[in-house]
Amino acid sequence: MSPTPAGAPPCVRLHLVVAYTGARFHGWQLQAGDRTVQGVVEKALATLAGRPVRAIGSGRTDAGVHAVGQVVHADVPQTRAGLPWRRALNALLPDDVSVVQAGPAPPGFHARFGAVSKTYAYSLWTEPEFVYPQRRPFVWACGPVDRQAMVLAAREFLGRRDFAAMQNTGTNVGSTVRTLESVAAWPGQTPFETVWRFTADGFLKQMVRNVMGCLVAVGKGKISPPDVRTLLSVGDRTRAPATAPARGLCLESVEYGDHEHGEAHSIFDEPAPDQGGCG
């Protein structure tokens, strides 16, 4: 049970894992007048809770980006704690969102501040002349690339770096330093795909898509791995290759640390107020 101010009804915090396809959403985050994942999840939660409920995600995803492992918490009235939340939410949610897990959150859990790392997957379709229609919504059909050159270039991003050149222009955050813990190319769902998987302690806005744009530019011989090093050290987004399309990107998982020892992490730059509907 969450700590409850005097007068507010007692709440329990739910932990949700949410999957969605991004094509028909204006991203995760609530926006007046636009269909967002947070918006439809909060609507379903409110229906079941009988009151407004705030859904706090591990972070935003852009319009068009998919997820299979977005982590969310939400405080709901204790009187509804016993609901079969997963089944009930999925009965209300539209076809392009599904709750994969739902249950009580561990004590002190916070979907955003507790996240210690995230893993994104970016799918490249490298066959030049055709794309399976089944895979078109989930890949960037970038055509043939020199994978070995990309692997070399990817090493330039690995570790603790200033990713200023890899964030969306116009973004304003405190620090642009992040630690990319791993980046690797994996076999995809078909023989015509490669999945690039990125794990970091945090990602700047459009960081994966900008890194992917760089890697494909290397794979096509437009820039070299040393150029990538220069780009990063100069830190000027306007000199970097174009952002990769949203539809190739999927938030696969969010990792959490030890909830006994506090989970506020300095990697999050814009801690939004946690406005739950209760508690």
Residues that bind its own copies (CB under 8 A): 19-21, 66, 68, 86-87, 90, 95-100, 129-134, 136, 138, 189
Single out the residue of 95, 88, 71, 92 nearest to residue 18, CA to CA. Answer: 71
Q: Which is nearer to its own copies, 150 or 246 (CB)?
A: 246
Q: Which is nearer to its own copies, 19 or 180 (CB)?
A: 19
Smallest distance, Å, CB 184 to its own copies?
20
CA dihedral 264, 105, 200, 206 (to 10 degrees): -90
Tokens of 136: 């078109």
Q: Which residue, 112, 124, 266, 111, is CA-closest to 208?
A: 124
Closest CB to its own copies among residues 93, 180: 93
> Least distance to its own copies from the beta carbon of 134, Å?
6
Minimum Å gap between C-beta 274 and its own copies is 26
Residue 167, burial from CB neighbour count under 10 angstroms (0-12, 13-18, 19+): buried
CB of 19 to its own copies, least distance (A): 5
Buried b or exposed e, range 2-13, using 16+ CB within 10 angstroms = beeeeeeeebbb
| Minimum CB distance to its own copies, residue 205 (Å) | 23
In 94-245, DSSP assigns E strands to 97-104, 115-125, 159-162, 177-187, 193-200
Please tell me which residue in 62, 75, 201, 227 is annotated as part of the active site: 62
Say how far apart CA 84 and CA 77 lie, in whole Å.
Answer: 14
Nearer to its own copies, 129 or 260 (CB): 129
| 258 assigned to active site | no
Strand partners, 160: 179
Q: How far apart are CA 12 and CA 74, in angstroms?
A: 8
According to DSSP, residue 129 is labeled: S
- Determine the Cα–Cα distance for residues 184 and 197; give it in Å rounded to an integer: 6
Please report how close the Cβ of residue 223 comes to its own copies at its closest, in angstroms.
27
- Can you tell me the distance from the alpha carbon of 77 to that of 111, in angstroms, rounded to the nearest whole number? 18
Between 133 and 273, whose beta carbon lies closer to its own copies? 133
Which residue, 8 or 100, is less far from its own copies as judged by CB? 100
Q: What amino acid positions are annotated as catalytic residues? A: 62
